[in-house]
């Protein structure tokens, strides 16, 4: 299954949910926020979001800003 | 005269709002914050990878225990800005958002139409919106009409260091919105620019590049802090109204060789 992760195409083995992706990316426990197909997913809902082929996921963290 | 500034129920300890981007090193950022003792720090969001760069940055910022104002820097569309604001709220656990929707890439001028639409939607979602805006009076009126409490007009384009391109328009905003929180955001280059803003009765100044790109960022941060304090103190003290003609400060009556008749001609 191919998804777009932070703007880059990436292959994952189905089935999986959002939490699985964050675990594979070693981001569990990090200070992050996640959007699935343009919608914010609250922290507690990661396991409820099942990923489909073609989905887009954005993962962000704090950065310097003006 | 109070150095503090209330935003809702939060008391900010300074009227200097400091950006955290573009410093030569993490140490320079840290030293600048220590020297400026800002009332809040602006932060942003960027894509995170396994390297976890964002976590290192956050470890520096959280140690200061200063309120943070996340921004939507780089957004050009309303929906993009709204999702970014929601992600910022999720991460930083604050309903404050510095709303930036860029309308022109050369000047980084904010898009007033997108700003108005996004502000309305974000207020409905419970955000306290700090809109990065032009100094347009009509835009400010429309923002006020939808319940926006804070205006952040630009002084000049972001990072330009030009100071105040249109002091008249900024002064007009202050005069017309005495009860709103007004902050000049962007374009500040020298501490004197920040002092000028505060002498107009603005509530705060947001700056970043003027400190981050200074020869000695920490020293410059300290200079801005003093200028902002001085400008605010001067405003609350009541600055005299400029006049065209001279007015002797030293009383002349009873001065030696005083001839009253001569001066009554």
Average pLDDT over residues B41-57: 84
This prediction's pTM: 0.89
Element of type H or E holding B153:
strand B150-153
Residues from chain A contacting residue B61 (CB–CB below 8 Å): 62
Query: Rounded to the nearest 10 degrees, how much is the dihedral formed by the CA atoms of B233, B236, B237, B238?
Result: 130
Closest chain A residue to the Cα of B43, Cα to Cα: A65
How confident is the model over B200-209, as pLDDT tens digits?
Answer: 999 999 999 9
A65–B29: do the CB atoms touch at under 8 Å? no
Catalytically annotated residue among B98, B125, B171, B180 = B98
Does B221 contact chain A (CB < 8 Å)?
Answer: no
What is the share, in percent, of chain B residues with pLDDT greater than 90?
86
Q: What is the reported pLDDT for B114? A: 97
Does B259 contact chain A (CB < 8 Å)?
Answer: no
Selection from B72, B83, B177, B194 nearest residue B130 by Cα: B72
Closest chain B residue to the Cα of A36, Cα to Cα: B83
Residue B263 has pLDDT above 60, yes or no: no
Q: Please give the Cα distance from B45 to B263 (Å, whole number).
A: 69
How confident is the model over A3-56, as pLDDT tens digits?
Answer: 999 999 999 888 899 999 999 999 998 899 999 999 999 999 999 999 999 999
Active-site annotation holds for B98:
yes
Q: Please give the Cα distance from A44 to B52 (Å, whole number).
A: 21
Q: Do the interacting molecules here have an ipTM over 0.95?
A: no
């Amino acid at each position: 299954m191919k998804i777009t992760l932070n703007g880059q195409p990436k292959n994952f083995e189905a089935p999986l949910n959002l939490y699985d992706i964050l675990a594979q990316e070693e981001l569990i426990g990090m200070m992050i926020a996640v959007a699935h197909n343009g919608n914010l997913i609250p922290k507690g809902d990661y396991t409820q979001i099942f990923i489909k082929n073609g989905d887009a996921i954005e993962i962000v963290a704090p950065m310097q800003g003006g | 005269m109070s150095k503090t500034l209330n935003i809702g129920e939060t008391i900010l300890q300074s009227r200097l709002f400091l950006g955290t981007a573009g410093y030569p090193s993490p140490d320079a950022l840290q030293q600048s914050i220590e020297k400026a003792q800002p009332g809040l720090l602006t932060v942003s969001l960027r894509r995170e990878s396994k390297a976890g760069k964002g976590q290192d940055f956050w470890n520096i910022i959280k140690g200061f225990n200063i309120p943070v104002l996340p921004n939507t820097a780089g957004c050009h569309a309303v929906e993009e800005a709204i999702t970014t604001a929601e992600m910022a709220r999720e991460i930083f656990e604050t309903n404050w958002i510095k709303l930036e929707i860029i309308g022109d890439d050369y000047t980084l001028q904010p898009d007033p139409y997108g700003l108005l639409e996004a502000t309305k939607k974000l207020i409905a979602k419970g955000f306290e919106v700090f809109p990065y805006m032009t100094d347009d009076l009509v835009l400010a009126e429309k923002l006020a009409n939808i319940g926006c409490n804070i205006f952040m007009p630009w002084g000049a384009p972001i990072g330009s260091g030009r100071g105040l391109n249109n002091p008249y328009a900024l002064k007009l905003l202050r005069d017309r919105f005495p009860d709103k929180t007004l902050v000049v955001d962007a374009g500040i280059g020298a501490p004197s620019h920040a002092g000028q803003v505060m002498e107009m009765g603005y509530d705060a100044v947001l700056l970043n590049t003027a400190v981050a790109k200074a020869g000695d960022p920490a020293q410059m941060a300290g200079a801005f802090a003093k200028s902002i304090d001085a400008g605010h103190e001067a405003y609350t003290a009541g600055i005299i109204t400029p006049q065209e003609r001279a007015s002797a400060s030293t009383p002349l009556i009873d001065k030696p060789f005083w001839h009253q008749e001569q001066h009554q001609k």
